[in-house]
Structure 1
C-alpha cells in the first residue's frame, strides 16, 4: 500500500504489525522488501496518522526488524550455518536489500560458506529485475524488458540456480525463465541456507 501511495490505508496494517511484534527482541524476515518497509516506511505511515502512540511504538519496534542475512551475521555473528548445497549458483541482490537496507555483501558471505556451493558472478548484478510490486502491473512492458535483461545475465553465468532474498524477484524472474525454458531454477537464500544435500 505504501509503495502505491496508499499511506492512510496502510495505518491498520502498521497497527497490526506493532500489535503482533511488540515485546520481541528481534523480528526476522526473509525479505529485504518487508524489512525495509517495517524499518523505514512504517514510521512515515505512523507519523502521517497523527497517532503519537503509534509513532512511538513504531520507533521502538522498527530498529528490531532484521532481514535474514543481517540477523545471522550482525546479531548472531554466524556465517556458517552448516548448509550443504553442491550446485552452481548465482546471486541477485534485490533492490530493497541493497538500496533501502544497505545489506551489502551479507547474503554472498553466507553463500560462500555453504559446502559444495559454487558461486558464479552475476554480470550487472545490482540492476533491478523489473518487478517492483505494482510497477510490474502498471508498467508491464518495461518490467518484462528489465526482467529479460536480468535473465540474459543469469543465463550467461551457466548457473543451475538463481538465488535472491525476495520472493517477488524470484517469482518474476522464475516466470520469465520458465517461459524461456532457461533451465535455471530459483531458490530463496533461506532455502539454500537450510539445504543438506
Structure 2
C-alpha cells in the first residue's frame, strides 16, 4: 500500500515539474496594448463591431487592422478613452448611433424554451425552462442577439425611456450626425 502511494506521489511530482518547466519554456506573451484595450471594452460580446467578441476586436485595434470607433455599446466615451490610450485623434462613431433599445418579452407568448437565455451575451434575460422569462432592462445592451433564436417571436425591442443620464442635446451637425467629437483641447481654444 505504501509503495503505491509513493509511486503515485513520484509520478505527480514528475508531471508537476514537467508542467512547470513547460510553462516557463513555452510561455506565450500576450500583447499588453491589446490587454489594455480589452479592459476598456464593455465585454458585451455582442458582435456589433464585426468581430465575434471584445477580445478579437481589441486584438484588431492593437494590430492596427481595425478602427476604434465600431463599438456601439461603448459609444462615444469608449472612443475617447481608446483615443487617449493609443494617442490617436478621436473619430466619429462608424456605426450610426441608433435609438437605444431594450428587449421586452411578451408574457402571453413566451413558452420558456431558454433559447434567448443562451444567446444573451450579458445574461440580461432571466428565467427557467418552461417558465416565463424576463429581461433585466438595466443590463440589456440592445444587441438583438436574442431575437433570432426565439421560436415564437415573443421578444420585441422597444426604445429606452429618455431620462437625464441618457439625454443628449439635439443639435444639427453634432456627433450623432457623423462629425468628430469635440476634444478637451478644442474646448479650451
TM-score by length of structure 2 reads: 0.29
Specify which structure has the higher proportion of helix. 1
Structure of higher CA gyration radius: 2
> Relative contact order (C-alpha < 8 Å, sep 6+): which is higher?
1
